[in-house]
A and B are shown apart, each in its own frame.
Chain A
Amino acid sequence: MQSINLSQLLYKIDETLQSQFGYQTFWIKAEITDVKKYESKRWCFLKLIEKKDEQIIAEMKATAWSQGYVFVEQFERLTQQPFTNGLQIVCKVKVKYSIKYGLSFDVLEIDNSFALGQIELQKQATLKRLVDDSNGQIIKDDEQYFTPNKRLKLPFVIQKIALITAQNSDGQRDFKNELLNNNYGYAFQVDEYLCQIQGDNAHENIIKQFEQIFASNIQYDCVAMVRGGGSETDFKPFEQYELAKLVAFYHIPVFTGIGHDRNTSIVDLMARQLKTPTKVAAHIVDHNFMFENNLLYQFNQIEQTIALKIDRAKQNLVNLKRLLQSLDPENVLKKGYALVKLNNKIVSNANQLKAGDEVETYIKDTKVVSVVSDVQ
């Protein structure tokens, strides 16, 4: 029986494929899985799959070499999500065959506008679900979301804070540094609820921390959920329905500082969003300063009101004293008037007198005794 080497057959396959596909490229839509990134080399190995009714009906190995890896990096930058398993992408591929490694695709380009659209669609669907399931408690108005959590009033002074963050993260350091070294010397109680806040199951870890805060029975003034440092792309936990719903209905005001300025996550929309850990801490310090400032202003107002009232009272007394002085008969006599008394009673009417009466006339410092000779 005549036989050929394996390589000979594989070269024939290679030739056939070359003649059929050559340098042609194709835009295809597929889900990605088995993603392995080599950041230092700027390569990414993955599988492209197509599913029908959750069953994989097509599968192909693929590689994004440095040319295609540029688009992987762009994907992460634009979407702020990791390029990872489960994503639907549209990419430009070239068929590649190697007699050693077999058939695969080279990924040359990724249509990131498609990815962004997909993510936005998913985000809008999650937001709509939150509103629809809230029994009218989450209200959307002009791109703003009003949630029961946002409607909670902050106490006049924030002192007890539950901090949800990752251990030894920049976010933890930045938040505490800004808060505890504030310019006004305000003291805070910060209880840390530490967990992993990146990665596929991060939202479950965060939810557990919220549950622990509730179970602690401590009357916290607010929850600060902060994240800083680490990956600039992994914000996926903050787009999760379950975490967003929990935050929207949480019984303590929640501040978010999850470290991204460009986009707003769904969790941000359900809480008080302040972008970065430092900004959350600064906001809390400012909140307390506002209270103190207001208190000082009120105290000042009271002091001024009292001072004004006392001044008026003093002026009033001065006026009354002046009036009393002018009404004092002693002072009247000093002006040259005289006071006449008959039988030690003041004579205020001439009818009280008759000829022969002995009267006393009081002139300034002097008493003159005289007899009335006639009353005309």
Chain B
Amino acid sequence: MKYLYSILAFFTLLSCSKEVDDTLYKAYSPAKIDVNGGTWKSFILASPTDVAISVPKLVTDAAYLKEIDSLKTIVIPGLTAAQKKSVDFWGAGAVLRWNEIGRELAARYNVPPASNAAGVYPVPNAADPLADPKFPFANPPYTARALAYLSIAQYDALVAAWKYKYQYNRKAPSDVDAAIKPLLPSTGIPAYPSEEAVVAQASYVILLAMFPGEGPFLKEKLAEAKNSVIWAAKNVGSDVDAGASLGAGVAAKVMARAKTDGMSTANNQAIVPDLIARSTSLGFVNPWKSQESPVRPPMLPNYGAVSTINFDRKTLESIRPVIPYLENTAEFKKDLAELNDIQKNQTREQAAIANYWADGPGSYTPPGHWHRYACDAGVAAKYSELRMARMLAYVGSALMDAGIACWETKYYYYSPRPQQFGLKTSVGLPNFPSYTSGHSTFSYAAATVLSSFFPENSAKYYGYAQDASDSRVYGLIHFRIDCTVGGQHGRLIGDFAVKRANADGAQ
């Protein structure tokens, strides 16, 4: 009976702490403030002053002093608990939080459309994004691209912001008036334009374009993010307004690139017969076939035509992996035998790795997984908003390039999945050709970039990449060769981002 009471007590405790402990981030002072950040090479902006902002009022100007007075007499005394909570949340990092929002949206939109009564899979419609099926289907290539443009817009906008910050050198409110005690750590970075507002507005523009059904949600986040720096007494309203205007202007330029990058024809199903014909001519006896019922058209067959970020089309074709083992070769049979053996004797450890990296429907996909690792690394290194965005722009662009180059390879060969040879899966089967593995390509590309930024953690990142790569064999949906070659391809793709980073002036 005593034992029973202790079980009861244990469960009472459990039920009291029913909420799970989510990852916690806290505000910090950046390790470096990078006075010369405004000279760093951006991705899309030709010059940091491509988008103009108005000259700020001097800190002695009556209009500015009125803003300071409003902080002291209205904002700070009237601060609510909800506003403080909001300051804590956004204070952890604007780039970090908007990246999280991007990942959350990706996860929410990452569900393959259901077939309708006629056995047809309706295509998501950008003009009616909340109808079933919702637009977009945020699959791995879509998410890689969305997060890449998000990070690039944040980075380019911050480079411009840094340029203006040190050009105008307008101090933070607490440095102007010692009576103001900000709720967030002082950074010493000039306050005009507000870097948080720059990031918020740029992120809002990109995410709204990528997730057009999320206007109300994003508007609410935008308002909260912009207000949080005023509630924290870190900025006055004019710092925020200038930041928002700059962020919007830069993001518009990034979206101009995104709109013409070839994504609009990525799902062109008309090219499929030609792809299959090429596959056959290359010697594939059983080109890829959808294993779903009803048969689902292949996912984004023309995504490989999207413009890459860090290298050109000629390079993409020159680094395309060579043809894999064909059916009936000894090497192919060996890979197939490995899968059959795992199907019979899958260990719990193998299943755990397969599930950890499955990143399937309802997840932020492998690109999102790597963005999370990148964010965590940036937080650990106490990166400024500028450094965080820069690092994510390289990781993100490498992931986007990996998606494009991998999809180009997949549809170049149109090779069959193991399920066409009788295998089952313990993670779910993606609906596109097998060779090469997207997980392997994404993961090695990201690990290569992260290893360059954080060489002390290189072994850890390549370890993750190898796990992600193995996970597709353990989950029975890729042949070993898909993963090995995908990984090698990913390294090459990552190297282009590293090369670019090494030449941007930030080192």
A and B bind? no
Contact residues of A with B, CB < 8 Å? none
Contact residues of B with A, CB < 8 Å? none
